[in-house]
Structure 1
């Protein structure tokens, strides 16, 4: 079973929920940090990293002695990652999406496949939690291949995915195929707006969802009204609580220092498993 934790916008407490939920589950599971552009689950979980794996991306390698200057490679490149100057092919590898079209269509095999590292996967453990994290190399633009490589290593046990914020391609790659998505939001105009976008995305992906409202005692009631309209269960309301803020600022999971919150997140875990089974 795969449970995704997502949010339409950043800064609403998605990672806090994911890490505390994993710890309160008190069972063997995999916590996967798929927010590869800015992973931060490890700051709270503090896992022991046991393995680091590079994530390669195919890039074309040019062989000038074979090129006839036909320009076919430039014609087929949808991402404008190639340019032909006389018989010299310039390769802009940061624009390349590794589709392989230029290599496939070159009639003289003047382009072959090479590799460059665009990110890293890190594996480790925090108690009985297996931890997986993806991190893209600074300056790279392609997060999806890193997330795809991360998802491929999840194993067969229950997996909790801390997704990137938003509704872009990296989020779709992280959420696709999940049995259930836990949507974290806040009762503000921004939270309401981005919640609607995320819910529409989940409908397209056919992933059932439930909602957690963070800082629930602030803002307005538009989020709850929308959840009622869309028949989205509100599984938990988290108040604006200095105890929670202090815990996160200190890098300490809330459930490790508050028996009350451990019980709350343990009950949420049971609800989520029931919702996933019903879905």
Structure 2
């Protein structure tokens, strides 16, 4: 069965990577770390790396012998990656989106393209689970090309895609590749506020979704009450506990604790009922 499930949160720190990595093991689903600016799922899964490839992007190269300094290339660039001076066309390569508009408008054939690396895709195995992640190079401002290359060739079966936090363009681009979404939140005012933002996003994309409440403490039911009012399916509730915090801080999986393994198994079963069988 082919199914890609995005795991996202309106804010950072809610535990979406914790949920993604533990669920991938329980469900025997492939783990895809799409948080390319801060990928940390491999810390917990520790896959044996078997393959890596660079992510390359185009950037324009101006032949000064052919360039007339007409400036049309700079005018057409929406991202201000090119700038005409009195003596040359300057390139700010990290602003370039590789759209090739500059080459199209150049009447003198002065613009060609070269490639540069902005990140890497790494792939490994955790038992029978395929683990992939994108890693954006330090100092690079644009993560989307890495995300597209990472998600453009997903393995067969069920894939859990660990999205970037928030609702930025990185998350929007990631959700183009998934069939359903799990929204991980925490029972706090900030958690509720940003959950509403994430809900607005997945609804605008017409994605089926469910909510997982992490770090739950007894009596703090604000998320459950909100979901009940909005008729939102709560897939599972993961309680806050000292043992879980100690395991997480040591880079261990929560499913190593019997109480939490049972919780994640119940969540996995609910996911099958909501996303796979219906």
- TM-score category by the smaller chain? over 0.9
Q: Is 1:14 paired with 2:16?
A: yes
Deviations 1:186-223 (A, max 9, x none): 11111011000000000111111111111211784332
Aligned residue for 1:38, secondary structure, equals coil
- With over 3 angstroms needed to count, the CA separation of the structure-2 counterparts of 1:241 and 1:248, relative to structure 1, is same
Q: Assess if the C-alpha contact under 8 Å between 1:136 and 1:143 holds in 2.
A: yes
Gaps of 5+ in 2: none
* In 1, Cα distance between equivalents of 2:234 and 2:47: 31
Which residue in the other structure is 1:82 paired with? Answer: 82
1:3 matched residue in structure 2: 5
1:262 paired to 2:261: yes
Q: Does the Cα contact within 8 Å between 1:180 and 1:276 map onto a contact in 2?
A: yes
* TM-aligned CA deviation for residue 88 of structure 1: 1.1
Q: How does 1:264-279 map to 2 (within 5 A)?
A: 264-277=263-276
* 1:23 and 2:22 matched: no
Q: 2:39, 2:51 → 1: CA distance?
A: 16
TM-score normalised to structure 1 length: 0.95
Mapped to 2, the partners of 1:149 and 1:240 lie a distance apart of 36
Query: How many angstroms apart in 2 are the aligned matches of 1:220 and 1:89?
Result: 59
Q: Which moved more, 1:184-193 or 1:79-88?
A: 79-88
**Number of residue pairs the alignment of both structures matches:** 276
Q: Which runs of 4+ in 1 moved over 4 A?
A: none
For 1:32 and 1:218, the matched residues in 2 are separated by 32
Q: Tell me the distance in 1 between the aligned counterparts of 2:20 and 2:75.
A: 45
Query: What CA RMSD, in Å, does the superposition of the two structures yield over aligned residues?
Result: 1.4
Checking the alignment, whether the CA contact within 8 Å between 1:30 and 1:154 is kept in structure 2 is no
Please identify, of 153-162 and 211-220, the stretch whose mean Cα deviation from structure 2 is larger: 211-220
Deviation at 1:224, TM superposition (A): 2.1
- Shift of residue 58, structure 1, vs aligned partner: 0.9
1:69-97 CA-to-partner distances (Å, cap 9, x unmatched) read 11110110001111111351100001111
Q: TM-score, normalised by structure 2?
A: 0.95
Aligned twin of 2:97: 97
